[in-house]
């Protein structure tokens, strides 16, 4: 009976420690969110200030031009003043991606990261941030020789072939005329970077 109580106490202390760690991390995230919101407010104020200045400069410029034109005996032309709410560039809407479409394999390094991330996290439990883990993965990748990288390149090629097959079947099921496009795009597809 004593052994069972000791196990429960040990689990209890581990869970309590984990809760404290999560609470600390939450506090840290709250501080970061607060700072981010503060920065966003400051940037919005700066943006408003700059847009007002631009509008004043454009208005002043258009008034000066119109006065010059009035004094000269030339034809009157109206200089359009662009409002701060409208930009002169036309923004094309982004093409929405289908969430059901097959996902591409990325590149060889991403494949390496995906396969090694949990191992690195186990080897370095003190590194919690994604950036630190990625730095460690990058260092490990740079330390691999050509034969070790070749293994990952072969896996990448296999995943790329599977992705192309999946895309062909996806396109043919969604668009009956897509088979002609698939043949053209697969023949013109670039080779992956090593």
Residue 176 has a pLDDT of 55
Secondary structure letter of residue 189 according to DSSP: P
Residue-wise pLDDT tens digits, 164-177: 998 888 888 876 55
CA atoms of 56 and 134, how far apart (whole Å): 47
CA atoms of 148 and 134, how far apart (whole Å): 19
112 burial level (CB within 10 Å; 0-12, 13-18, 19+): buried
Residue 125 in 3-state DSSP? coil
Residue-wise pLDDT tens digits, 35-90: 999 989 989 988 888 888 888 888 776 665 555 554 444 444 454 545 555 555 66
Check pLDDT > 70 for residue 2. no
Q: Kindly state the tokens that stand for 186.
A: 């697969």
167 burial level (CB within 10 Å; 0-12, 13-18, 19+): middle
Helix (H) / strand (E) containing 127: none
CA atoms of 140 and 134, how far apart (whole Å): 10
Residue-wise pLDDT tens digits, 4-24: 788 899 999 999 999 999 999
Question: Count of alpha carbons within 13 Å of 43, Cβ hemisphere only?
Answer: 6
Residue-wise pLDDT tens digits, 92-136: 777 777 777 888 878 888 888 888 888 888 888 887 788 888 888
């Amino acid at each position: 009976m004593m052994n069972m109580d000791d196990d429960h106490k040990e689990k209890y202390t581990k869970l309590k420690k984990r809760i404290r760690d999560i609470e600390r991390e939450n506090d840290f995230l709250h501080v970061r969110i607060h700072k981010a919101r503060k920065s966003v407010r400051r940037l919005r104020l700066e943006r408003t200030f700059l847009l007002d200045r631009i509008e004043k400069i454009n208005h002043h410029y258009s008034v000066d031009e119109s006065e010059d034109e009035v004094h000269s005996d030339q034809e009157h032309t109206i200089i359009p003043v662009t409002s701060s709410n409208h930009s002169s560039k036309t923004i094309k809407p982004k093409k929405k991606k289908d969430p059901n479409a097959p996902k591409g394999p990325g590149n060889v390094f991403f494949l390496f990261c995906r396969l090694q991330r949990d191992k690195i996290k186990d080897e370095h439990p003190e590194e919690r941030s994604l950036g630190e883990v990625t730095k460690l993965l990058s260092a490990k990748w740079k330390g691999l020789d050509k034969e070790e990288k070749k293994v990952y390149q072969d896996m990448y090629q296999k995943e790329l072939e599977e992705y192309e097959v999946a895309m062909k079947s996806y396109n043919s099921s969604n668009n009956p005329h897509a088979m002609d496009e698939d043949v053209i795009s697969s023949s013109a597809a670039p080779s992956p970077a090593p």
